[in-house]
Structure 1
Amino acid sequence: MTEATLRPNLGRINTTSHNFRADAEVTTDGRAKINLHNFSARASKLIAKRLDERPAWKLPIGEHLTANNKNYETDFQSVLGKYSGIPRINIAIFIVGSRGDVQPFIPIAQLLSQPPYNHRVRICTHPVFKPFVEENELEFFSIGGDPATLMAYMVKNPGLMPGIESFKAGDIGKRRADISEILHGCWRGCIESGDGMGGQAKPGLSAEDTDNLFVAEAIIANPPSYAHIHCAEKLGIPLHMMFTMPWSPTQSFPHPLASIDRHDTDANFANYISYTMMELLAWQGLGDVINRFRIRTLRLDPISPLWGHLLLSRMKVPFTYAWSSTLIHKPQDWQSHINITGFSFLKQASSYQPDDDLIEFLKAGPPPVYIGFGSIVVDDPNHLTNLIFGAVKRAGVRALVSKGWGGLGGEKPPEGIFLLGNVPHDWLFQHVSAVVHHGGAGTTAIGISMGKPTVVVPFFGDQPFWGMMISKAGAGPEPIAFKKMTEESLGNSIMTALTLEIQEGVRKMSEKIVTEQGDVEAAKSFQQAVNWDSMRCLLSPDRVAVWRIKKTNIRLSHLASSVLIDEGLIGVSQLKLQRTDNWHRVRHRDWYIDEGATDPLTGAMAFASGVATKTLSIVFDYKRNISTTIHKQHAATHDKGKDSERSSSEALPVLRKYSVSWDGPVPVNPVQAALSYPPERLELLAQRIASKSVPYQTGQPIRQRSFRAGRLPTRTPQNDAREEEHGLVYETAHDTSNFVTEITRTGLKVPVSFFYNLANGFHNAPSFYFGDETVRRRDNITGLGSGVKVAGKEFAFGLYDGITGVVTQPYNGAVRDGTIGFVTGVGKGAGGLVFKTCAAAFSLPAYTLKGLEKQFQKRHDRPLKAKILAIRLKQSLTEFERASHADKDEVIERWRTLGLDKSGVGLTGMGSRQSMKYGN
């Protein structure tokens, strides 16, 4: 068992076990220094053994679907298997970083939006890249954040964690606020129409805005976006990670952001554990920000950093790395869900028209050396400019110097130096002899692919990693750290890069790289990782399923559902977007995020740290709110509050006059009649469905009050007058009331957290201690009913497996491995008897209380649920209106051909055939 201790001072962690001890801390230059002390040479072997012994329910998603998705494919394979085409889906691509991070995704997005895929692809990134994305004819959505500010911050702090000076300057709070903004921006990019600019959701139910409605059905993301797995969990959709630097644990090389002092530790083990340590550091700094996003925005449970780190690798999330295997080969311990597809290039040379003065400079002498640092922002651009000019003179070469975001160059460069603006690299590098850059993945890729010797001057992040990889491959000299660079070192490196040996080495690499199609292979990698048959509509398999008929596993597209309703074959009350509390439509991917603590001790630590962290957070927020009330202008706070409440009030208009049901004798064709409904009526219907109060008769009275469950009370003129009259006293009382409410709520959750964490710890311990493959996956808890059901199952199976394991474990071990297997089985049986029976005892209060907690939380999810429902209703109406008679007739014909009209699935009752069953 590995035990991690998160110290009070940010940026320092320890982790120990009986095999090793490791500690990591942030040094003054911002790097994360990791010290390892190996107590046993068996440590690296233990890693591989534990990975191989993980239970079957933790294997890659492409191989093991959830039960309902697997049953859907199996039961209806005769229909679904006939279609080789791909349903068109909405893909949100999250990208956080510089232009070099965004650019590789552009050609991939273009391919996915074109035949044969034809998906709708939305690039969700920083607002500064809006023109860049849209000029490449792709949809853009702003997630907020300023990459220029981020680059300046990263230059000061070249590692994952910030340096001491940044702590003193207050930069940490600003960056945490940026991450919070980006998390919310990514979520908005999944469910909102428009481009996200201005921070407000655009109205989306009017007829002219229908085509702009967007709900993500798959996510592609780079790891620094952080919101990826959490948004995918909430929406129940596929997630695919893509990146230009290693992010998956491996024994082949260390984490690119780690500086390792491994002492006597095995090198393979040191490499592997560096990924865990870096993730723990990241979670220590951002865990509370991420959990606040999960709780307040997504209405999901928080995740403890003790098992929240390495979520992507533990969940076997499909990963595509956009570099060439010529430069870095795929490690042997990376499994089939991880692919290296090659560099992804955005071709811009064909449309670029260079200025005349640039052409004249290129013709005036031998090919120059390119020097540029892209999006890097430096504190003293004049000093860096003079250093570059001196190095060029020392090397005796001509140079093209890119001004970049750092503002290099001055007004009058020396002879033999030309200052560049924004010039596409795929055009420019055809005319240079070598390239000097910061080691960004994109610039590295294009330079090597065009056979240009490369000098890397790394500033931060993965740049030192790429510098070492280039040097190791023989494509350039050793990298020069920016803070250690001098005229002499840069000049010597340029001369070294121009030697015949390096030129020949990079030329051979180029010949292999130019044959690769990284963007094409990345698009294929995404397509292959998605289980398309489970996403198809049963009656229209070329469309994605978004609805499910209650009590069955029958999945329908927008068109199929609207046609069946209009024909009176099913009623709107029979359709569900959600599966119990995990409400959003058919869950094409059920992410099992919260498997919980690995053992009882970790569970106890998670309970204690969780309660302490939550309490401190509440106290801190209270102090901050009181301070804001006292020191900031009351008028600004007052106006902001009124605007916020007014927008909330406007989001739920009073629409008492409307009837909201499509069921009943009138009208004869309810969908055709609904085509003329105003947007407000659809919103009201969505609210009624979300609150499970859809009336079965038209004209039934509607109580507006029921829609506001879980929302703040509506602001009234009396409230405004009272606040204006009492000012500071009123606001302080309001903040104090919220503080008391939060503390009380936290106190009520203490017994839930205690029993829940310990129950999960006892449940998982046999797997993580002994590699026990008989440990069953615990079902998801979504409400009181499922909580009681899970508690009963865990109690019964815990006792059964614990007692019978005393006999079955030694027997199975002996059959498999002889005497050694028998002895091992005796240990597993004895350990299982203790842990599994304890798990059974704790499961009754733990999972019942957890179900009760979830039941109370459901009401807070209704506004968001109603918002998605309103979008889906409008999209269903639109597809119905635009569909041809032939398409509609085909849906009805397939319904009858499959015998669904006679199976009791329609309005006359619910189906009883096993293939129709779903649960509820």
Structure 2
Amino acid sequence: MAPEDNPHDPHDPPDLHDPPPSYEAAISSSFLHGDTHITDDGRVDIDPNSRLFRTLSKLVPSSHEKWHAKPVPRYTPCQGRLNIVIQVVGSRGDVQPFVALGNELQKDGHRVRLATHDAFAKFVVDSGLEFYPIGGDPAELMAYMVKNPGLIPSMNSLRAGDIQKKRKMVAEMLDGCWRSCLDADPISQAPFVADAIIANPPSFAHIHCAQALGIPLHLMFTMPWTSTRMFSHPLANLKSSTDHATANFVSFSIVEWMTWQGLGDVINDWRKTIDLEPVPLTEGPCLAETLQIPFTYCWSPSLVPKPADWPEYIDVCGFFFRDPPQYTPPKDLDDFLRRGPPPVYIGFGSIVIDNPGEMTRLIVEAVRSTGTRAIISKGWSGLGDESDSSDDILYLGDCPHEWLFQRVSAVVHHGGAGTTACGLRYGRPTVIVPFFGDQPFWGEMIAASRAGPMPIPHQSLNSSNLAEAIRFCLRHETFAEAKNIALKMQYESGVSAAARSFYANLPMSNLFCDILPDRPAVWEYRRKGKTVKLSGVAAQILVNYYKVDKNKLKLHESKEIVIENRRWDPITATTSATISTFSGMTQSAAGILVRPAMVHRASSSNPKLSRASTSKAGPSTDSSSIASSSKGSSVKDNTQPTAEHAQPHHQETSDGDHASLLSHGSGSDPKRPNLAASMALASASGVGGFFKSFGKGFFIDMPLAFAEGARAMPKLYGDEAADYGRVKDWKSGFLASGKSLTLGIGEGFADLLVKPYEGVKKDGPVGALTGLGKGFLGFSAKTSSAAMGVVAYPSLGIYKSIRHAVRGNTRKAIAQARSDEAIYVLTKPGAQPDLDVNAIVRKLDALLA
């Protein structure tokens, strides 16, 4: 019986103050916390007695500790106009919420670009947003995730080479995300440089793009990705533990560690191409939390409230809904809806199922056993066939859920956040058949809210349990609970709340121009001991009127991102650096023989490498050859490196691209001497890498690791470690060395007297012994750190100065792209009639007076 046929009126207003369901209660009997050791759905089993768990649990802050973060103002209006790039990896259900967000940001005057897979180009452009293709095949990605729904790949996937395919796809998307920050619009060719980034975590490139550009980043997602004591990571299975809060918290770190183990090397190889140093192994997994990146979760707080231990820069804003599209149903759909009671909707969207025929048979059998009617969405798997439609079942192609879900009695789907939100928005009881990712999480939330039954993992789905789940949804009580949630959600505005969250976390004081305050600052001009922040337009005008020397402009970073290699003690720090050094030396030594062989093999498989590849991979930095190979770049000036070629391929050649070394010949038809030279060059690169790893490891990394580890030792017994400032160049390196020597030795000797005295005051004679131990430990740690720091910090500073000088392609590309955008804005038809040049000049003079 359809809900509308129930004699009792289910539309009585619910109590809006009812507390949301308890997550812990919901998961107590679910497969998220099953007793199995290794589950079929590829999730991560976590044993609280394991060594890794015990190690990570030591880093969990106590429940009474507060986050050491500056409070964020709850709302700061954004008066300026920004170029915002939104980077999204996933299915259409992942992309659609960000389309709604992009439209909201457009209303505030921002230029918004949505960077995602090529398959969604029309969808994004039709929504009124700029689109940028980042590569990656979402259908292939979905098929992989169905076969490997968690983080542990199956043996079948390993045999089929799926892991390597996914890693290549990730590398392609990383590069695409970087280009989305700098390249011109593919349609209008209007230059674009990002002033801020919004991204979902699976896009992976976000933090690194923001670091290279020096711009703010804001993450947004549909599933929990931040450590909390309230519940475990949705991809984790926790074994029994006496301390559930700690186990929950640690589960997030472990899942992040598993992810980084699979993709960390891909990310670090890509970071080299944009002139960033590799992220240390220990820092990569939880980078977003360490850097306190602002996070907005786009789900309804009526379902999952914000955990109490999440800091101010994390918000739960509600689901993101776009404006319902205009839609006229085809005749067969309209006729089907009119000739009977509301049907059940069944569909799995962009999920790619191995055997769609068997799934169709199962669904039809379940529907007919319940005596209901159904609309079956064919989706990416191609369920059923439109020719097989009958009086009780209609097979349907693409149709907006916002329109359709208002006209059905219940929904059965995979549990994507967007589809789940849409069903709840219209008060529809929901059955979730999860395949991977956050889908089990949403299934649990639906069950906890009593708006549907417990989720049915797709491996366990059969006609019997699906029919039982549909009957559960058609109960009056289930329908009433779904309507209750829908009414609560009417009072939420997830998209506008997310926009406010984004604005509240922007570095407003450092973001905008000092002369044209409605434009973002992209340059710094220093004179007379003062620094003026300039937008691209203001700087270009001042250069044109000879008020500013272009060579005196420096790129402005509105949000500096610093990734530090945190140390805990000198032993583990030095051991880690030593292992890393010898690992690099070993790999380079192997490359002396392996790389020439790879070049030879590449030449055999591809004997007709084009001259175009020469301009990419060759050692020459001639700007004309770089510009001539540019394709779709926002940079047109052949005298400067282009934005597309911000990646210095001629400086860093990955092991997977040795074919490019063949292009060092003089023509497109490689001769034997060219091949021999390429093989010799490949071998020489291995020799160079060996000595580079040796030199950097023994003269910089290991001394620095010991100095930093010893400096951090007082933290182990509750003291603060001295801060010598960040080493950016040779000047700051020598400054840190001086501080290390004077403060380290001075504080070390002081500890011999101060710590025993503090111990006596606190605990008497026993405290004196404890203080004496702390004093000797502090003395040895601080003086040894000071001694090693005399060598380590200057060496690090000199290394960074040299690296900054020789690896500047990315900075040049950013600078050129910024200039191109300003020139375009000033020269396009009807440009900037409101700009008062004289006022701009006078304002600069006033700021420098």
On the 8 A contact 2:613/2:663 being kept in 1, the answer is no
What is the aligned partner in structure 2 of residue 278 from structure 1? 255
Larger mean CA deviation between 749-758 and 329-338 belongs to 749-758
* SS of residue in 2 equivalent to 1:250: coil
Q: How many residues align?
A: 786
CA displacement at 1:385 relative to structure 2: 0.7
Who is 2:95 aligned against? 102
Q: Which residue of 2 aligns with 1:10?
A: none
Question: Aligned with 1:148: secondary structure?
Answer: helix
Counterpart for residue 918 of structure 1 = none
Aligned-partner residue type, residue 343 of structure 2: P
- Does residue 725 (structure 1) correspond to residue 682 (structure 2)? The answer is no
Out of 83, 88, 95, the residue aligned to residue 90 of structure 1 is: 83
Q: Which residue does the alignment assign to 2:265?
A: 288
One-letter amino acid of the counterpart of residue 105, structure 2: L
Asked if 1:590 is matched to 2:573, the reply is no
TM-score if structure 2 supplies the norm length?
A: 0.85
Task: Point out the more displaced range, 43-52 or 431-440.
Answer: 43-52
Distance 1:717 1:332 in 2: 59
Q: Note the C-alpha offset of 1:419.
A: 0.7
TM-superposed deviation, 1:754: 1.2
- Counterpart of 1:558 in structure 2 is 536
CA contact (8 A) 1:646 1:715 kept: no
Q: Distance in 2 between matches of 1:503 and 1:815?
A: 67
Q: Tell me if 1:254 matches 2:200.
A: no
The correspondence for 1:36, drawn from 40, 48, 63, is: 48
1:535-684 aligned at under 5 Å gives the runs: 535-550=511-526, 552-577=530-555, 586-615=556-585, 617-618=587-588, 625-626=595-596, 628-632=598-602, 634=604, 636=606, 638-640=608-610, 643-645=613-615, 652-653=623-624, 680=637, 683=640
2:113 to 95, 117, 122: 122
1:368–1:591 distance in 2 versus 1, CA, 3 Å: same
Q: Which amino acid aligns with 1:129?
A: F
Contact 1:323-1:341 at 8 Å conserved across structures = yes
> What SS does the aligned partner of 2:478 have?
helix
User: Where does residue 837 of structure 2 map in the other structure?
Assistant: 888
- Pick the aligned partner of 1:135 from 126, 131, 135: 126
* Whole-angstrom distance in 1 between the partners of 2:345 and 2:759: 64
CA distance in structure 1 between the aligned counterparts of 2:321 and 2:315, rounded to whole angstroms:
17
Supply the AA of the counterpart residue of 1:559.
Answer: V
The aligned residue for residue 184 of structure 1 is 175
SS in 1 for 2:219: strand
Q: Is the 8 A contact 1:62 1:531 kept in 2?
A: no
Taking the aligned partners of 2:493 and 2:604, their CA distance within structure 1 comes to 59
State the partner residue of 1:173: 164
Unaligned ranges ≥5, structure 2: 1-35, 627-634, 654-659
Alignment of 1:838-853 (within 5 A): 838-853=784-799
For residue 402 of structure 1, report the CA deviation from its aligned partner: 0.5
8 Å contact kept, 2:614–2:664: no
Tell me how far apart the structure 1 counterparts of residues 275 and 649 of structure 2 sit (CA, whole Å): 16
Q: Does 1:387 pair with 2:354?
A: no
Whole-angstrom distance in 1 between the partners of 2:435 and 2:593: 38
Task: Provide the C-alpha distance between the structure 1 equivalents of 2:464 and 2:494, rounded to a whole number of angstroms.
Answer: 37
- Aligned equivalents of 1:836, 1:609: Cα separation in 2: 24
| 8 Å CA contact retained: 1:307, 1:597 | no
Instruction: After TM superposition, give the deviation of residue 778 of structure 1 in Å.
Output: 4.8
Q: Distance in 2 between matches of 1:299 and 1:885?
A: 39
Q: Contact (CA 8 Å) 1:86, 1:532: kept in 2 or not? A: no
Aligned to 1:404, what secondary structure does the other structure show?
coil
For 2:55 and 2:677, locate their aligned partners in 1 and report how far apart those are by CA, in whole Å.
Answer: 64
Please point out which of 418, 441, 449 is paired with 1:465.
Answer: 441
In the alignment, residue 679 of structure 2 is paired with which amino acid?
A: T
| 8 Å contact kept, 1:377–1:406 | yes
Matching residue's letter, 1:562: Q
Counterpart Cα distance in 2 of 1:126 and 1:261? 38
Query: Given the superposition, is the C-alpha separation of residues 635 and 417 from structure 1 closer, same or farther in structure 2, using an over 3 Å criterion?
Result: closer
Matched-pair contact (CA < 8 Å) for 2:359–2:383: yes
CA distance in 1, matches of 2:63, 2:736: 27
Q: 1:739 is matched with which residue: 680, 686, 707?
A: 686
Query: What is the identity, as a one-letter code, of the residue corresponding to 2:416?
Result: G
Report the Cα offset of residue 448 of structure 1. Answer: 1.0
Q: Structure 2: how far apart are the matches of 1:780 and 1:137?
A: 44
Identity among equivalent pairs (%): 37
Alignment partner, residue 30 of structure 2 = none
TM-score (normalised: structure 1): 0.79
Query: In the alignment, does 2:502 pair up with 1:529?
Result: no
Quick one: structure 1 residues 100 and 298, their matched pair in 2 at CA, closer, same or farther if it must change by over 3 Å? Answer: same
CA positional deviation for 1:567: 4.1
> Do the aligned partners of residues 597 and 646 (structure 1) sit closer, same or farther apart at CA in structure 2, a change above 3 Å counting?
closer
592 and 816 in structure 1: CA distance in 2 versus 1, 3 angstrom threshold: farther
Structure 2: distance between partners of 1:438 and 1:127: 23
Match of 1:69 in 2: none
CA contact (8 A) 1:107 1:345 kept: yes
Asked if the contact 1:221/1:240 (under 8 Å) is kept, the reply is yes
Comparing 852-861 and 223-232, the one that deviates more: 852-861
8 Å Cα contact 2:585-2:690 kept in structure 1 = yes
- For the 8 Å contact 1:53–1:771, the answer to whether it is kept is no
Q: 1:16-35 alignment to 2 at 5 Å?
A: 29-35=41-47
**Offset at 1:503?**
1.4
Q: Does the aligned pair in 2 maintain the 1:161–1:282 contact within 8 Å?
A: no
Per-residue CA distance 1:661-699 (angstroms, 9 max, x = gap): xxxxxxxxxxxxxxxxx964763999xxx9xxxxxxxxx
Distance 1:260 1:880, change over 3 A: same
> Are 2:662 and 2:674, in contact at CA under 8 Å, matched by a contact in 1?
no
Q: 1:489 Cα shift? A: 0.8
1:764 corresponds to 2:712: yes
Letter in structure 2 aligned against 1:645: S
Secondary structure of 2:640's aligned partner: helix
1:167-193 Cα offsets, whole Å, 9 max, x none, are 222111111111111111111111222
Distance change >3 Å, CA 646–CA 499, structure 1 → 2: closer
> Counterparts of 1:715 and 1:61 in 2: how far apart (Å)?
55
